[in-house]
């Protein structure tokens, strides 16, 4: 049964798993926090062998779709009206195109949009580079080198470990939006 305000079931949160780039390294902990807040959590990864019809049905049964910026979030097209998409925005000052890709379209799709911008300490880049390296200290200088450099550094070579205490606020905001 799909969650609706007052029917006693839990709202469903789908976490889009990534296995190659921008991996959510603490997916289990994020799932636990979401469950404690009252979500039913569904973990899913769409790949070339996924049955698209079945996957679309699962997404459509969810109230919230959450994932790190990337193609997996395009599954928001299957969400029901008034659902929520939560985009986890990787480190690197890519907020602008992250919003263009998913935030702006959500409004025209009758979907609510939340984002969670990760901090330096939540990025695997903080273990790969010294704290004073331009990748961490001055992402604008990296972006000036062009799309290939942005993609290589901030999209293809970055994993995310969400600060679950900070992210709890975003999940709670999602619940509040669903209830009103």
Task: Dump pLDDT digits (tens) for 112-162.
Answer: 999 999 999 999 999 999 999 999 999 999 999 999 999 999 999 999 999
pLDDT tens digits, 89-126 = 999 989 998 999 999 999 899 999 999 999 999 999 99
Per the CB < 8 A criterion, the answer to whether 23 and 159 are in contact is yes
Per the CB < 8 A criterion, the answer to whether 33 and 168 are in contact is yes
Which CATH number covers residue 116? 3.40.50
Say if 7 falls within a structural domain. no
C-alpha to C-alpha distance for 100 and 108, rounded to whole angstroms = 12
Bridge partners, residue 85, by sequence: 65, 113
C-alpha to C-alpha distance for 26 and 30, rounded to whole angstroms = 6
Torsion, CA 94, CA 106, CA 22, CA 49, rounded to 10: -140
Say if 2 falls within a structural domain. no
What mean pLDDT do residues 25-44 have? Answer: 96
Say if 87 falls within a structural domain. yes
Say if 128 falls within a structural domain. yes
What mean pLDDT do residues 2-19 have? Answer: 79
User: Based on the structure, what is the number of domains in the chain?
Assistant: 1
Beta carbons within 8 Å of 72's beta carbon, 6+ residues apart: 16, 17, 18, 45, 46
Range of the domain at 164: 12-179
Say if 5 falls within a structural domain. no
Q: Count helices and strands (H / E) in the chain.
A: 9, 5
Q: What is the value of pTM for the model shown?
A: 0.92
Q: In the chain, what percentage of residues exceed pLDDT 90?
A: 80
Say if 4 falls within a structural domain. no
C-alpha to C-alpha distance for 116 and 147, rounded to whole angstroms = 22
Say if 152 falls within a structural domain. yes
Confidence of residue 5 (pLDDT cuts 50, 70, 90): low
Say if 1 falls within a structural domain. no
């Amino acid at each position: 049964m799909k969650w609706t305000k007052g029917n006693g079931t839990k709202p469903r949160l789908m976490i889009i798993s990534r296995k190659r780039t921008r991996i959510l390294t603490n997916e289990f902990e994020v799932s636990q926090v979401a469950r404690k807040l009252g979500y039913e959590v569904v973990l899913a990864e769409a790949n070339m062998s996924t049955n698209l019809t079945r996957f679309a049905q699962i997404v459509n049964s969810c109230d919230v779709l959450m994932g790190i910026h990337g193609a997996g979030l395009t599954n928001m097209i299957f969400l029901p009206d008034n659902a929520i998409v939560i985009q986890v925005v990787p480190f690197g000052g890519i907020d602008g195109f992250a919003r263009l890709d998913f935030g702006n379209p959500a409004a025209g799709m009758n979907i609510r949009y939340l984002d969670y911008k990760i901090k330096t300490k939540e990025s695997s880049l903080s273990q790969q580079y010294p704290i004073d390296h331009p990748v961490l200290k001055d992402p604008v200088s990296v972006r000036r080198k062009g799309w290939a450099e942005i993609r290589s550094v901030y999209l293809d070579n970055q994993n995310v470990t969400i600060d679950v205490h900070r992210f709890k606020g975003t999940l709670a905001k999602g619940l509040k939006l669903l209830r009103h």
